[in-house]
A and B are shown apart, each in its own frame.
Chain A
Amino acid sequence: MSNHVTEWLNAYLDGELTNGRLHQVEKHLAECEVCQAEFDSLQSLSGLLHEVPAPEFKSLERFASQVNLLLPQKRTPPPQRSLFEVGWWMIPVGLLTVWIFISTTILVSDMVSAANNFGLLDNTTASLISEPSDTATWMSTLGQFGVLRGDSLQWAETTESYTRNVLPQVVLQVSVALLYLTWIAVWWVRQTRQPPVPLLEG
């Protein structure tokens, strides 16, 4: 019989196996005498260990009273939120604020542009909000020199305009989202881990 399951027998004994691995071990044990013998010896060992009785300790009430008497009179004050802790919780708040600000700015900008396109703004306001026509500067320059023409010039100008206007917004929002997700991941790890208990001297 090959493919012994010896390495999983402890976990099987402790009821830690599930699904596929559990069926694999059960099936193998039914067929393999070597592994079955090993498993039996593990069970015997467990039985032997449990033959050692727990001692009868003195009254728990008395023990608790003794501990109470031994507790240091002055203990450290209740935990106060450190500057680090406050800063830690300000991170998601700050990120959400930045995200809301960016989203609102983009939304307002789009609405104003749309209003301008529909001619809903007067000339003065339109001139105030209209962007200086420095977009596609590089491509226009290349067009003037005859490097780009026709469709390729138009495509290049569109690409440059997109790169200048939309891409920074996307990058900014994605960066904020990634930072926020990173914070959540770190928060989750901190929650699931107990800080190490410092040892006392002596």
Chain B
Amino acid sequence: MESFTAATVTTVNETELVTRAQNGERNAFSELVRIHARGVLNVIYRMCGDEQTSEDAAQEAFIRAWLNLSSYRPQTSLRNWLYRIAVNAATDMLRKEKRILPDDIEDLQLTDGRPGPESLVSQQERTRLVQKAIQSLPDASRAVLVLREYEGLSYQEISSTLDIPVGTVMSRLNYARNLLKAKLQPQLSLLEVEHV
């Protein structure tokens, strides 16, 4: 009951903040930025894989949100609306910077996947490889994967956020995961060995 009340109050506050921001009140918009900054930064970071680029793209995303706030409909989720802008901003930022694909992504296939002390990469190295594998995905599939895996959005929410049918969400997610499984096969094998 308490959480329901808290959520209701948050929604009411957010609706009020949106109305005030739509009327040009910058402080109200700043409050909205504070509320949603972490989520937007995370989405963009998962899309870009670079901290500094993420902050630049997040700033760009919030500026776009400010400029287009009049087109936002309060009946829909502000978070999801911001996520859509964030995904667009991240994609544009990567294009602008002529995304440099990681050199060693193809080398992942060559890594020895057999269990053994010599083939165990450090946690940090594994993290780096996973991140690079995610970066190698096509933009459309990566956006769906990020919203599902890291932000926990439902298929329906992803569908409305990215304005694509639920069937497309499913196929893109399927494609992304299959590609990642193939690229990260050695790491997955090591993970299974560690968990045995």
> Which A residues are within 8 Å of any B CB, using their own CB?
7, 10-11, 14, 16, 41-42, 44-55, 57-58, 60-61, 63-68, 70-72, 75-79, 191-200, 202
Contacts and interface: CB of A to CB of B under 8 A. Distances in A.
B34 to A, nearest CB: 5
A194 B81 contact: yes
Interface in B47-88: 51, 54-55, 58-60, 62-68, 70-73, 75-76, 80-81, 84-85, 88
30 contacts: A14-B154, A41-B188, A42-B177, A46-B149, A48-B126, A51-B127, A53-B127, A57-B41, A58-B55, A60-B34, A60-B38, A61-B34, A64-B33, A66-B59, A67-B63, A68-B30, A70-B59, A71-B63, A71-B66, A72-B66, A77-B24, A78-B23, A191-B73, A194-B73, A194-B80, A194-B81, A196-B163, A197-B71, A198-B68, A200-B64
B37 A72 contact: no
Contacts of B80: 194
Interface of B: 22-24, 26-27, 29-31, 33-34, 37-38, 41-42, 45, 51, 54-55, 58-60, 62-68, 70-73, 75-76, 80-81, 84-85, 88, 92, 96, 123, 126-127, 130-131, 134, 148-150, 154-155, 160, 163, 170, 173-174, 177, 180-181, 184, 187-188, 191-192
B170 A70 contact: no
Contacts of B187: 48
Contact residues of B: prevailing secondary structure: helix
A194 B88 contact: no
Contact of A67 (B24, B62, B126): B62
Given A45-B181, A72-B67, A191-B75, A16 B155 contact: yes
Contact of B170 (A10, A58, A68): A10
A201 to B, nearest CB: 10
Given A52-B131, A60-B38, A75-B67, A68 B26 contact: yes
Nearest to B146: A49
A65 B30 contact: yes
A199 B65 CA distance: 10
Nearest to A199: B88
Given A46-B149, A192-B76, A194-B81, 7 more contacts: A45-B181, A47-B191, A61-B34, A64-B34, A194-B76, A194-B160, A197-B68
Which 9 residue pairs spanning A and B have beta carbons closest together? A79-B70, A64-B33, A64-B34, A68-B30, A60-B37, A67-B62, A195-B71, A55-B51, A78-B23
Contacts of B65: 197
Nearest to B22: A78
A55 B127 CA distance: 12
Chain B CB count within 10 A is highest, among A10, A14, A67, for: A67
Contacts of B64: 197, 199-200
